[in-house]
Chains A and B, each alone.
Chain A
Amino acid sequence: MQKRHKKAPVRYKKPMTWQEKIKRTMKQLKSESVLYLMLLPTLIFFVVFRLWPIIGMRLAFYKYSARKEWVFVGLEYFEMIFKTSAFTDILKNTLIISFMKFVMLFPFFVLFAILLNELKSNGFRKYVQMVSYLPHFLSWVVIAGIWIAALNPSTGAVNQIMNFFNLPSVDFMTDKTKIRWVLMISEAWRSIGWDSIFYFTAILNIPKSLYEAAEIDGAGRLGTIRYIILPALVTPMVTMFILNLGFFLNAGFDQVFNFSNNAVLSSVDILDTYIYRVGIQSAQYSLSTAVSLLKGVVGIFLVFITHLVSKKITGKGVW
C-alpha cells in the first residue's frame, strides 16, 4: 500500500486554509463519487452490525427494559460480576485453557514445520500437508462429533487402543481433570498443519546460500536446524506468540462450547460461554453485556500492548 504513495508535487506556496482544503476534498469526492459509492455498502455494514452493537454496549451501565427507557445504574453490574464467586473460576478457566492452547502447544507447531522441512520425499511431504491442513476447515461441531465418537469409552478407537495395552477405559469427555487436555490435543489436531504454514513459509524463505555455508562449516542436519532454521523462526514465533496473547481472553469459544457438557462445565466454563449462558439463556442482558465490555476492553488493551511489544522486539507491529 505504502509503496505507491508518491509525494505529490508542491503546488501551493502558501498552506491551504481549511476552507480550501474542504473545497478540494469535496471536489475530489465528487469526481470519484463512484469509488466512494463502492465502499458504501461495506461501511454501512460495519456501522449497522458492528458499531451500533458496540454503542449498544452502554447497556452494561443500564438496567434493561424492552419497552421503557433503560435506567442508568452505574457500575452495579460490574460489582455484581466481581461478587459472583463463579467469576474467578471462569476467569481462571479462560486463562488456563488459553495458556494450554496458545503457549504450551505452540512449540509443537514450530516443530511440525521443521520436521516437514526435513522430509526428503516431496511426495510424502505433499501427502502430509494435504491431510494435515484439512481439519482446519471442519467446523467445531463436526470436530467435536468426531472426537466424541473416537473417545467413546466402549466403541471409540482411543479406549480400544488403551484396552489393548491392558489400560482401563476412561470417559475423557466427562472427566473434569482430563477435559482440558482433550481441548488442547483437539486444538493441536485441528491446527498443527494449518498453523505450521506460517513457520514453514519462513523456513522456505531462508536463502539457499545459508545452507551451503552451514554445510561448508561442517554443520550436520541438527546443526543446520540449530544455527540456520531456528534463528530464522524467531521473528515469526514472536509475531505469532504476541498475536495469540491478544486473543487470550477468547480461549476459542466454538471449541469449548462444543466440547463442554454439564459434567465438566466447572473446568471449561470460560468468559464467552458465560456471556452466552447469562445473556441468551438466562436473558440477563445487562450482566452479560458488562462481561462482554470488560472482556472487549481488556482484549483491545492486550492487543495494543502486544502491538507495541512486537514493534519493539521484531520491528514489526501486529498490523
Chain B
Amino acid sequence: MGPDNRSKKIPRWQMKNRMRRNSVFTPTQIGLMVLLGAITLTMIVPLLNILAKSLSSPEASKTMSGLAIFPREFSLINYKIVFNHPALMKSLWNSIYVTVIGTAINILLTTTAAYVLTRPKLLFKKIIMIFLIFMMLFEPGLVPEYLVIQKLGLMGSRWSVILIAAVNVYYLIIMMRYFEEVPESIFEAAALDGAGHIRTLFSIVFPLSKPGIATITMFYAVVRWNEYFRASIYLVRAKDTLFQVILRQFVILGDTASIVGQQNLFDYNELARIDYAALKGATIIVAIIPVLLLYPIVLRYYAKDVMGGGVKE
C-alpha cells in the first residue's frame, strides 16, 4: 500500500484504480480481514452455537462444545416444548399483540406529529419542540410513572405497556428529517388541489418518505418486541406477560421450575431430563427470529448509505 512505483508509465489516477483492484490480498489487507472477521465471528459463533445446541437431542447437546455450530443428533424436542408450553405461547401472542398494535400507534402518532411539526407556518413550533426535547431529556422517575399507570387503571392491562411508549422523541426527530426532504412545492400543489392535511400526509408524504417510514417502523417494532422491563412491572398476572419477561425469568434468573413444571421436575420424567441450556437456547432463538425478519429493512433503508459499494469511489 502507499504510493507504489511498480510501473511509472501508467498515469497516477489509473494506477490508483489498479492498486485498489489489486491490493485486496496484500498482507495488511489480509491482516485487516482476519481481525474484522474475528470480531464478526464473536457475534456469529455464539448465536450459531445456541441454535445448534437447541436443535440437538438432549443427550448430545449436554456434551457439545461451546464452539460447535452444527447440531448433533438433530431433534426438535426443545422447540416442541417451547411451542407446546401454554404460558410461553400465551406470552408469545401477547408480545406479537403489543408489537403490532404498539408499532401501529407509534407510527400513527409519530408521522402525524412529524408532519405538523415540519409545516413552516406552524405557530408555537419552538415552544412545542422545546417541550418535547425536555420530555426526552428528563426522565420521570420509575415510581411516579408507576403511580400514574395505577391511577389510570392501566395496571395489568397490555395498554399500559403500549401507551407508555406511544411516541419516542428521538424517532420523531428522525421522522421530521425525512419529511423535511419532501419539496415544499408538493405541499402547495396538494393544497391547491384541495387536499386537506390528513390526505396530504397519507397519500402524498407517506409514499414519498417510504425509506423513512420503513426505518422508523423497524426501530419501533424492535423496541416493542424487546420490551421486558415495564411489562414485568405493569403486567402483574402471568397470563398477560410478554415473551421477553418469561425469557428473562427462565434464561437469566434460572427459573426452570416455571417452564418445565414443578410436577415434572418432581417426577424427573422425560421433560425434566432435557438439557435446560439447550431449551434456554431455543427460547432465545424464538426471541431473535422476529428481529432477524425486520433486520433487512435496516440494511436496505437506514444503513444503505454506509453500505453501498459505490460510496467509496
Contacts and interface: CB of A to CB of B under 8 A. Distances in A.
Nearest to A1: B180
A313 interface: no
Interface residues of B, number: 103
B41 to A, nearest CB: 9
A278 to B, nearest CB: 9
A285 to B, nearest CB: 5
Contacts of B307: 126, 129-130
A131 interface: yes
B123 A29 contact: yes
Contacts of A159: 66
A152 B284 CA distance: 16
A189 interface: yes
A71 interface: no
B24 A285 contact: no
B174 interface: no
B36 A128 contact: yes
Query: For chain B, what secondary structure do more than half of its interface residues adopt (helix, strand, loop), or is it mixed?
Result: helix
Contacts of B44: 131
A181 interface: no
A22 to B, nearest CB: 12
A134 B201 CA distance: 32
B309 A36 contact: no
Residue of A29, A49, A116, A204 with highest tally of chain B CB at under 10 A:
A49
Nearest to A192: B39
A141 B142 contact: no
A5 B163 CA distance: 34
Interface string A106-125: 00000010011011111010
B135 A34 contact: no
Contact of B66 (A126, A158, A189): A158
A142 B282 CA distance: 11
A176 to B, nearest CB: 18
Nearest to A43: B128
Given A46-B132, A288-B141, A160 B291 contact: no
Interface string B88-128: 00000000000000000000111011011111111100001
Nearest to B115: A38
Interface string A189-226: 10010000100110010001000000100101100000
A97 interface: no
Interface of A: 1, 4-5, 25, 28-29, 32, 34-36, 38-39, 41-43, 45-46, 48-54, 56-57, 59, 112, 115-116, 118-122, 124, 126-135, 137-142, 144-150, 152, 155-161, 189, 192, 197, 200-201, 204, 208, 215, 218, 220-221, 246, 254, 257-258, 275-276, 279-280, 285, 288-289, 291-293, 296, 299-300, 303, 319
23 contacts: A1-B176, A1-B180, A4-B184, A35-B119, A45-B163, A45-B167, A46-B131, A49-B166, A53-B148, A56-B141, A56-B145, A57-B144, A59-B144, A121-B24, A128-B36, A141-B244, A141-B287, A149-B277, A155-B277, A215-B3, A220-B2, A289-B143, A296-B140
